Amino acid sequence: MQLKVAIFGASGYSGVEATRILAGHASFELTLATSDRWEGELLEARLGHLGGAGALRYAAHPADGAGAALAAKGCAAALLCTPAETSLELAPALVAAGIQVVDLSGAFRLRDAAVFAAAYRLTQDAPAAALQAEAVYGMPELGADTRASIAKARLVANPGCYPTAAALALAPLFEAGLLAEEPIVVDAASGTTGAGRKATEEMSFSEVADEFRAYRVLRHQHTPEIAQTLAGAARRAVPLTFTPHLLPVRRGILATAYARLAPGRTPAELKAALLHKYAGEPFVQLAGSPDQVSLRAVVGTNQVQIAVDCGGAALGPGSDPNRVVVISAIDNLLKGAAGQAIQNLNLMCGLPESQGLLALRPV
C-alpha cells in the first residue's frame, strides 16, 4: 500500500524534481501538488510523462496553515518546497494534523533563533519556535545517531545545498580531529537554478552567460548553517569564511574547502577518515584526487563526490606542506534539495533510504 504524499510549492525547481522522483517511487503516491503559477494544469502538461501521477492537476497554494492541513488531509507526509516565511506558517499546522513534514527551506535548520533572524531576516512565532527545538537536521550521512533521529522525526529540516556540499566534505575530518583549530575557508560555485525560479535581470541569460562572479560575500544565509554543522562534528566552534559564486550552468555545485592539518597528524589519515566514514554509503563517491571531482559525475543524481589532498612541499618554499584541500560536487537540486528530501522521507516512513533514488543517472 502506497503512502500518500503532498508537495507544497511544486512548480519551483526543487518541487519539480521532487515531483518527478515521487511519481516513480514504489512506496509513495503523490496526491497533492500546489502551485499558484500552474493551478489547474495537468502535471504531465508541465513535466512530461509521469505515469499515473501525470493525471493529477496542480492545486492552488493554500492561504495559511489551516488550509494546508485541510488540503493534505489523508496524506502521511508533505514536502515543503516553499520559502522560509511560508514554511514557518505551514509546518506547525501540518505537524499538528499528524502529517510528517520535510521542509526544504531554511526555516528550521538553525538552532539559535537570533542567528536565524539575522540570516533570514525573519522571526519565528510561538508554534514555529516550538517546532524549531524539535526539528531534526536531515543529513543522514552524518552518522547513525542522525539517521535514528530522522526516523523518529515529525519534522525534518532538509539541509541547504551549499551546506550539504561543504559539510559532507569536511565533517569526517573534523570528527577525526585531523584539522587544526584555525579558521577554514569554503569557496563554492553553483549553477543558476540555485537562485530559484524567478525572473530578474541579473539572472537572465545575457547577464549570466560567459560570466563567473561571487555574490552575497560575507553575508550568505548558509554561512551559519555550515558553521553549525561543522561545529557539531568538531565539538567546538569552527571559524568560517564562506564565499558563494555563480556558475554559468543550470545546475550543480563544486565546493572547495581549505584547512590545515592538525599537529601530529599525517596526510594519509585524511583519506582514511573519509573511507571509514563513508564505507557503504550509497550516495557518496570518493574520487582518487581532487582533480577528478566534477559536476558531470553527479548532476542528475543524488550523489556527492569528494576527494582530499594535503601537502605540496615538493613545489618549493612557497608551498604549504600542511595545507588541506577538500573538493566536493553535488547536484544542487537533488542531493542539495529534492533528492536528499526523499532520502529523509524514506527514513521517516521506515523505508529503505535509497528507494526511488538509485535509478537517477548523470545527465
Tens digit of pLDDT per residue, the chain (363 long)?
899 999 999 999 999 999 999 999 999 999 999 999 999 999 999 999 999 999 999 999 999 999 999 999 999 999 999 999 999 999 999 999 999 999 999 999 999 999 999 999 999 999 999 999 999 999 999 999 999 999 999 999 999 999 999 999 999 999 999 999 999 999 999 999 887 766 576 767 767 888 899 999 999 999 999 999 999 999 999 999 999 999 999 999 999 999 999 999 999 999 999 999 999 999 999 999 999 999 999 999 999 999 999 986 667 777 888 999 999 999 999 999 999 999 999 999 999 999 999 999 887
- What pLDDT is stored for residue 198 in this prediction? 65
- What pLDDT is stored for residue 312 in this prediction? 66
Q: Is 81 a catalytic residue?
A: no
Give the integer Cα–Cα distance in Å for 239 and 242. 10
- What pLDDT is stored for residue 176 in this prediction? 98
- What pLDDT is stored for residue 92 in this prediction? 98
Fold of 161-330: Dihydrodipicolinate Reductase; domain 2 (3.30.360)
- What pLDDT is stored for residue 260 in this prediction? 97
- Locate 198 and state its grid cell: 524567478
- What pLDDT is stored for residue 314 in this prediction? 65
Give the integer Cα–Cα distance in Å for 354 and 125. 35
The pTM (predicted TM-score) of the whole model is 0.95
Helix (H) and strand (E) counts for the chain? 12, 13
Look up residue 301 and give its DSSP letter. Answer: S
Would you call 177 exposed, middle or buried from its count of C-beta atoms within 10 A (0-12, 13-18, 19+)?
middle
- What pLDDT is stored for residue 206 in this prediction? 67
Q: Exactly one of 75, 81, 161, 310 is catalytic; which is it? A: 161
As a whole number of Å, the end-to-end CA separation of the chain is 32
- Reported as a single tens digit per residue, the pLDDT across 187-212 is 999 999 887 766 576 767 767 888 89
Checking DSSP bridges between strand 253-260 and strand 77-80, what pairing results, if any?
Answer: unpaired
List the chain domain ranges. Answer: 3-158+337-348, 161-330
CATH of domain 3-158+337-348: 3.40.50.720
Give the integer Cα–Cα distance in Å for 350 and 234. 30
Q: What is the largest CA-CA distance in the chain?
A: 67
- What pLDDT is stored for residue 199 in this prediction? 59
Give all strands of the β-sheet with 100-103 in edge-to-edge order: 28-34, 3-8, 77-80, 100-103, 155-157, 136-137
